[in-house]
Amino acid sequence: MISKIRDLLLAACAAVSVLLPAEADAKDDILVIGDSMLEWQSFKGASIPQILAKRTKRNVENRAASGAKLYLTGAEGNARSVIPTQYSKGNWNWVVMNGGANDLLAKCGCSRCDSVLDKLISEDASSGVLPDLAKQIRNDGPRVILLAYYEGNARPNLFSRCEKVVKELTERQRLLASRLRGVELVRTKAAIDPKNRSHFALDGFHLSRKGTRRVGALLAQSLAQLEARRR
């Protein structure tokens, strides 16, 4: 008798499970790709994507890697060393990405960078590695957030000479976001004060835990505002 009751209960549970949506059908939600700005403080559970996940209670997958570039010259790197290869088609709602600073520093020393900058993103934002990647993602369905670089530490550091060209990169990203539907630019200027040493790590150019928390919180707020705008 007990065996028959158990069988009936198992059959009933199976029937209910057919009616309920499967867990696997849920959106992968948010994918993050980029360079060390988005990986930094990960080992402390305090990277920008980790703060985003904690603030929003959403699923965030982070594939960003320190030193990653938008394109390589010469020797091949691993899958995470080139930002476009960090992306894969999936059931994402959003793809958050950054990139370009490592290219500008390594390939032209952040000086006389016109050709490198144009390869990353043209002056009119119509072509380049970054627009091509954004268009690919949009064709796959997800919306895109371009997370702008923060203004660097006012104290001299490795990237001090990159401020001018990085500002131009951000301006071209702004133009891309204004022209390509579903692509948004989120600026970090409100979160990071270049004169506040507590916002920066000991190396002088990456963010401290305080800095990543501030950018992560700003990103979470911006995401909520972008989604509310479409309701």
Q: What are residue 143's phi and psi, to 5 degrees?
A: -85, 160
CATH of residue 118: 3.40.50.1110
CA 36 to chain centre: 10
Q: How far apart are CA 93 and CA 77, in angstroms?
A: 28
CA distance 144 to 204: 29
Residues of the domain holding 224? 30-229
Domain contains 207 = yes
Q: Which of 222, 161, 198, 219 is nearest to 37 (CA)?
A: 219
In a domain, 22, yes or no: no
> Helix (H, G, I), strand (E, B), or coil: what is residue 61?
strand
Q: Kindly state whether residue 51 falls inside one of the protein's structural domains.
A: yes
195 vs 152: CA distance, rounded Å: 9
Residue 11 lies in a domain: no
Number of domains making up the chain: 1
Mind listing the pLDDT tens digit of every residue in the chain (231 residues)?
Answer: 444 444 544 444 444 333 333 333 356 899 999 999 999 999 999 999 999 999 999 999 999 999 999 998 766 667 789 999 999 999 999 999 999 999 999 999 999 999 999 999 999 999 999 999 999 999 999 999 999 999 999 999 999 999 999 999 999 999 999 999 999 999 999 999 999 999 999 999 999 999 999 999 999 999 999 999 876
Judge whether 15 lies within some domain.
Answer: no
Q: Determine phi and psi for 95, rounding to 5 degrees.
A: -125, 120
pLDDT digits (tens, 9 = 90+) for 37-47: 999 999 999 99
| 206: in domain | yes
Query: Does residue 17 lie within any of the structural domains?
Result: no
Q: Say how far apart CA 148 and CA 37 lie, in whole Å.
A: 10
Q: Which amino acid is at 40?
A: W
Residue 137 domain-assigned (yes or no): yes
Distance CA(153)–CA(70), nearest Å, equals: 23
